[in-house]
């Protein structure tokens, strides 16, 4: 086998830690995963990240590894790799994650917000190949984003740019996970979709959703999608509403950064056309001018590996920039 460069990719999530060894083409050659068990605090979690890293590095000559990429739930400073109080990692006040990993692994470590990394991953290996202006949006438990403009990831003055899920669409709207009101995330992410479904059932709507769960409290966005796919009108209307708000959010994004393409990933995007049709319709109806009409809105291509491939892409970007 050729002595090719290798990259260690780490995807730190609120529930799972995943690591992989990859080649520069994005082929994942070895993998390891474990539960995050975030409630045990940063020290224990960092220990588990290192265990996963050591597992995929076993038998590999360290000198072949050009860098380590780490994707973490933001906010994270992309230059220092310090993580600041991510909502799903309790106790991470200001943890120098990149420095800690670099010191133990003896390798250069590059870190970034997971949605930003996903944008880099989709651009290099997925639905945004060859594009210099694109926006990635993930719709799952929350709504995150990554903006690439003129070939560069937009990180902002202190590294916290790209929070497209936290734009205000309804000034007096529902409370968002961040504490503000009426943000896109509070109106269209998975929990908002589930909440709308529970409310519809409480108000007496007749829907297949009631038959898909033993208790309305157990309804998730997945339940809504399943019922919608099977033709349920109430479920379809809920996805339509979520798509409407996502479309409004994208109109703002298009007016500000005018991407060639918008890539939507995350669990909720699995609803496919039931969500994409109202998104595209809303965007088409609300753009300020027909000049923006060429923006394509497509599904993400990388699926569950987007976090790892984003970390690989980050290392390749950083190494090229040096
Ligand atoms: Zn918010």
Distance (Å) from CA 181 to ligand 1 centroid? 7
The predicted-structure confidence for 267-314, as pLDDT tens digits, reads as follows 999 999 999 999 999 999 999 999 999 999 999 999 999 999 999 999
pLDDT of 74 higher than 80? no
Contacts 24+ apart (CB under 8 A), 107-110: 107/8, 107/62, 107/65, 107/67, 107/68, 108/66, 108/67, 108/68, 109/67, 109/68, 109/69, 109/70, 109/81, 110/67, 110/68, 110/69, 110/70, 110/78, 110/81, 110/314, 110/315, 110/318
Distance (Å) from CA 242 to ligand 1 centroid? 16
Distance (Å) from CA 33 to ligand 1 centroid? 30
pLDDT score, position 1: 45
Distance (Å) from CA 294 to ligand 1 centroid? 29
Distance (Å) from CA 168 to ligand 1 centroid? 8
Q: Omega before 75 cis (within 30°)?
A: yes
CA within 13 Å, CB half, 183: 18
Distance (Å) from CA 134 to ligand 1 centroid? 22
Distance (Å) from CA 183 to ligand 1 centroid? 5
Decide: 181 and 171 in contact? Cβ < 8 Å: yes
pLDDT score, position 3: 65
Distance (Å) from CA 12 to ligand 1 centroid? 21
pLDDT score, position 88: 81
Decide: 250 and 283 in contact? Cβ < 8 Å: yes
In angstroms and rounded to an integer, the radius of gyration of the C-alpha atoms of the chain is 20
Separation of alpha carbons 4 and 209, rounded Å: 51
Distance (Å) from CA 60 to ligand 1 centroid? 43
pLDDT score, position 239: 98
Distance (Å) from CA 273 to ligand 1 centroid? 26
Segment 192-219 shows an average pLDDT of 95
pLDDT of 125 higher than 60? yes
**Model-level pTM?**
0.94
Segment 108-135 shows an average pLDDT of 97
pLDDT of 196 higher than 60? yes
Distance (Å) from CA 206 to ligand 1 centroid? 32
Distance (Å) from CA 87 to ligand 1 centroid? 11
Distance (Å) from CA 220 to ligand 1 centroid? 20
pLDDT score, position 11: 97
Segment 204-221 shows an average pLDDT of 95
CA 101, 140, 136, 186 torsion: positive or negative?
Answer: negative
Separation of alpha carbons 113 and 97, rounded Å: 12
Integer angstrom CA distances of residue 138 from 120, 199, 203: 13, 25, 30
Distance (Å) from CA 109 to ligand 1 centroid? 29
pLDDT score, position 75: 87
Distance (Å) from CA 68 to ligand 1 centroid? 30
Integer angstrom CA distances of residue 265 from 102, 145, 181, 217, 246: 30, 10, 24, 26, 12
pLDDT score, position 98: 97
**DSSP summary character for residue 166:** G
Residue percentage of the chain with pLDDT more than 90: 93
Other C-beta atoms lying within 10 Å of the C-beta of residue 189: 28
* 4 — pLDDT class (breaks 50, 70, 90): confident
Integer angstrom CA distances of residue 151 from 122, 135, 301: 13, 11, 19
Integer angstrom CA distances of residue 20 from 16, 87, 273: 13, 25, 32
Segment 35-50 shows an average pLDDT of 96
Other C-beta atoms lying within 10 Å of the C-beta of residue 200: 21
pLDDT of 2 higher than 60? no
Distance (Å) from CA 182 to ligand 1 centroid? 8
The predicted-structure confidence for 12-25, as pLDDT tens digits, reads as follows 998 999 999 999 99
pLDDT of 192 higher than 60? yes
Distance (Å) from CA 29 to ligand 1 centroid? 37
């Amino acid at each position: 086998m050729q002595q090719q460069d290798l990259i260690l990719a780490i995807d730190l999530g609120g529930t799972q830690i995943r690591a992989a060894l990859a080649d520069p083409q994005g082929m994942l050659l070895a993998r390891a995963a474990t539960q995050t068990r975030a409630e045990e605090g940063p020290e224990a979690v960092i220990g588990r990240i290192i265990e996963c890293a050591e597992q995929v590095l076993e038998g590999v000559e360290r000198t072949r590894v050009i860098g380590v990429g780490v994707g973490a739930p933001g906010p994270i400073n992309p230059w220092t790799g310090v993580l600041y109080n991510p909502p799903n990692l309790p106790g991470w006040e200001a943890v120098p994650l990149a420095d800690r990993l670099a010191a133990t692994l003896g390798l250069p470590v590059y870190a970034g917000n997971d949605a930003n990394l996903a944008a880099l991953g989709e651009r290099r290996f997925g639905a945004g190949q060859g594009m210099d202006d694109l926006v990635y949006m993930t719709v799952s438990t929350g709504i995150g984003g990554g903006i690439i403009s003129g070939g560069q990831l937009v990180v902002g003055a202190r590294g916290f740019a790209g929070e497209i899920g936290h734009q205000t669409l309804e000034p007096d709207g529902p409370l968002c996970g961040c504490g503000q009101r009426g943000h896109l995330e509070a109106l269209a992410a998975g929990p908002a979709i589930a909440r709308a479904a529970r409310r519809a059932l409480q108000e007496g709507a007749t829907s297949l959703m009631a038959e898909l769960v033993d208790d309305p409290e157990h309804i998730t966005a997945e339940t809504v999608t399943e019922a919608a796919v099977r033709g349920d009108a109430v479920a379809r209307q809920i996805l339509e509403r979520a798509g409407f708000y996502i479309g409004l959010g994208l109109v703002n994004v298009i007016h500000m950064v005018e991407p060639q393409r918008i890539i939507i990933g995350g669990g909720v995007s699995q609803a496919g056309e039931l969500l994409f049709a109202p998104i595209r319709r809303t965007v088409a109806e609300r753009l300020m001018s027909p000049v923006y009409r060429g923006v394509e809105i497509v599904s993400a291509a990388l699926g569950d590996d987007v976090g790892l491939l984003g970390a690989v892409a980050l290392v390749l970007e950083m190494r090229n920039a040096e």
